[in-house]
Chains A and B, each alone.
Chain A
Amino acid sequence: MAAERVANLRRAVGALMARSKREVPHYYLSTTIDLGAAMDWMQRANADRPIATRLVTAALLLAASAKAAKEVPDVNGFFVDGAFQPSPAVHLGVAVALRGGGLVAPAIHDADALALDELMERLRDLVARARAGRLQRAEMADPTITVTNLGDLGVETVFGVIYPPQVALVGFGRVVEQPRAVNGMIGVRPTVTATLSADHRASDGLRGGRFLALVDELLQKPEEL
């Protein structure tokens, strides 16, 4: 039964991704983001919290992505019937790897408007339900942009494939410590590689670059996420 479910899921993902690679003219951007401020802030926030309400890095990355998507509508919406339709709402798809194989990417609705704690709670709930096979149809159907965070499994950079009819996929890799120059001083900082795969029919590199730059800016002020 479980093997059959995995095989079905694999086929569905395969068909969608084949369509994406066939039809969607992807372009790819990448930037390295200093997470020093975000990690420091999160550590301080978590120090006072019981385990059940602690934050994980992924929640900050998702919050920044959702808020940036709201500001750059060119990457948030659907390409249907030969035209791009930007979405006024940000329903943030979260790629969740299922134990035993397969992938689903259900949405956190109106993710840009959620407080960080609320987003964290939704994330935990969504991942738990995805793994238990208890997602609702609407959650599966309507993400306006998707984020994939493969950092926990150790890779540094994600080269994502867009989920059609969406027009962008944001990827985050592992948080790695790197020597960086900050204000003229070399220091060791936690960094993450953020990538954007986007549909050239809906946006170009300038807008896509603006999106990644905004994600970076937002992560420098984690207290405002």
Chain B
Amino acid sequence: MNEQDARAAVLDAINEVAPDVDTEGLDASSRLRQDLELDSLDFLRLLEVLAQSTGVSTPEDDYADLITVQRLVDYFAARAG
């Protein structure tokens, strides 16, 4: 998956989990917890939506790296077929 597709998938997932976040003008360096105020249940849901759209199931060991929107984009760009 190229970065553009990964970005679209990530933004779609954020839209679904946190509809109040303005994904149009979203800064890619935004932090999921502190800036978007996603809690651990939101985060789990986000990964669930992304698993459906990209086919990538994220192991828990990788959670710690996925702290910003850009990290998510890079992660799924690198792993999704």
Contacts and interface: CB of A to CB of B under 8 A. Distances in A.
27 contacts: A43-B60, A47-B60, A47-B61, A50-B51, A50-B57, A51-B44, A51-B48, A51-B51, A51-B57, A51-B58, A52-B48, A54-B44, A54-B60, A56-B40, A56-B41, A56-B44, A57-B40, A58-B41, A97-B39, A99-B18, A99-B19, A99-B20, A100-B20, A123-B41, A124-B44, A127-B41, A152-B40
Interface of A: 43, 46-47, 50-52, 54, 56-58, 97, 99-100, 123-124, 127-128, 152-154
A40 B48 CA distance: 22
B25 interface: no
A95 B57 CA distance: 30
Interface of B: 18-20, 33-34, 37, 39-41, 44-45, 47-48, 51, 57-61
B69 to A, nearest CB: 17
Nearest to A44: B60
Contacts of B51: 50-51
Contacts of B61: 47
Most buried by A among B37, B47, B60: B60
Contacts, number: 42
Contacts of A99: 18-20, 37
Contacts of A123: 41
Contacts of A127: 41
Contacts of B57: 50-51
Contacts of B41: 56, 58, 123-124, 127
5 A-B pairs with the lowest CB-CB distances in the bound complex, closest first: A152-B39, A56-B40, A46-B60, A51-B48, A99-B20
Contacts of B39: 97, 152-153
